[in-house]
Amino acid sequence: MASGEKKGEKKVAILTGASRGIGLAVARRMAEEGYRLILNSREPERALASVSAGAEIVPVAGDLGAPETVARLIEAAERFGRLDALLINHGGPPIKPLVDVTDEEWERFFRLMVLGPVRLLRGALPLIRRAGGGNVVAVGSYTVKEPQPGIVLSNALRAALVNALKTAALEHGPENVRINIVSPGFILTDRVREWNESYARQAGMTPEDIERRTVERIPLRRYGRPEEIAEVIVFLLTKNTYMSGQQLLVDGARTVAL
């Protein structure tokens, strides 16, 4: 038993981006694991309607890039007196090439994708230490390893967060804080559908054409499902005791970079 854990005390998790796709799939599985859940998204009621009715849930609405949202998440965890697991997840930025991205967009999505997550981790660390240690997982993307054209904001900002979290894993390992990144490939979410529609418009093709072309480049010959990514994340949040500072690609072997 961890030093900060009392016998019979339920564990607590903060999950951001929890109303759709991978985040919602993780919320459902964490409820099955018996965690008290602090769920954040712009529409947390979507998660409330989809997660087990017996789960103990605190919804926190708001944008992860806003300091007040992070403050409310930490306040909710402080009411429980501990934090055992933290999922850092958020929506994606616009699909645009470098020359079309404005200064305002760089600043806005830096706040959402880098500063907000780092601010949340900074606030969460004392509570994780109080619990005797715990697990942090961020949702990344295979494009950190293999950047793709037309999504410079995602490529650059996700890479920045990965490096920040790997640094945090080095600094906070002695406190029994394990920090990892799960980087999906093409998963059947609203984000991938948006990606396909955007590329289809640019190429004069249909989204179905783009999907077929994409699947041909995935050795497993299909898109992944949010639930498949959730299984990896939930293992890292609930069962992992020694893996830290790693980026795990869950992409059907799509990424060719080492």
pLDDT computed for residue 88 by the predictor: 98
* The CATH number fitting domain 12-186+225-250, selected from 3.40.50.450, 3.40.50.720, 2.40.30.110, 3.40.50.1370: 3.40.50.720
Please state, for a pLDDT cut of 90, what percent of the chain lies above it. 80
Q: Give 31-81 as a DSSP string.
A: HHTT-EEEEEES-HHHHHHHS-TTS-EEEEES-TTSHHHHHHHHHHHHHHT
pTM: 0.93
Burial of 136 (0-12, 13-18, 19+ CB in 10 A): buried
Q: What distance in Å separates the CA atoms of residue 233 and residue 182, rounded to the nearest whole number?
A: 7
- The stretch 22-51 carries a mean pLDDT of 90
Q: Is 8's pLDDT higher than 80?
A: no
Using one digit for the tens of pLDDT, what is the confidence trace for 187-218? Answer: 998 888 888 888 888 889 998 998 999 999 99
For residues 151-164, one letter each, b for 16 or more C-beta atoms within 10 angstroms of the residue's C-beta and e for the rest, the string is: bbbbbbbbbbbbeb
Q: Is 40's pLDDT higher than 70?
A: yes
pLDDT computed for residue 1 by the predictor: 40
Using one digit for the tens of pLDDT, what is the confidence trace for 149-186? Answer: 999 999 999 999 999 999 999 999 999 999 999 999 99
Q: What distance in Å separates the CA atoms of residue 224 and residue 221, rounded to the nearest whole number?
A: 10
Mean pLDDT score across all residues of the chain: 93
Q: Give start-end residues of each CATH 3.40.50.720 domain in the chain.
A: 12-186+225-250
pLDDT computed for residue 181 by the predictor: 98
Residue 9 pLDDT grade (very low, low, confident, very high; cuts 50, 70, 90): confident
Angle at 147 between CA 140 and CA 170, to 5 degrees: 45
Q: Where are the beta strands (DSSP E) in 113-252?
A: 134-139, 177-184, 247-250
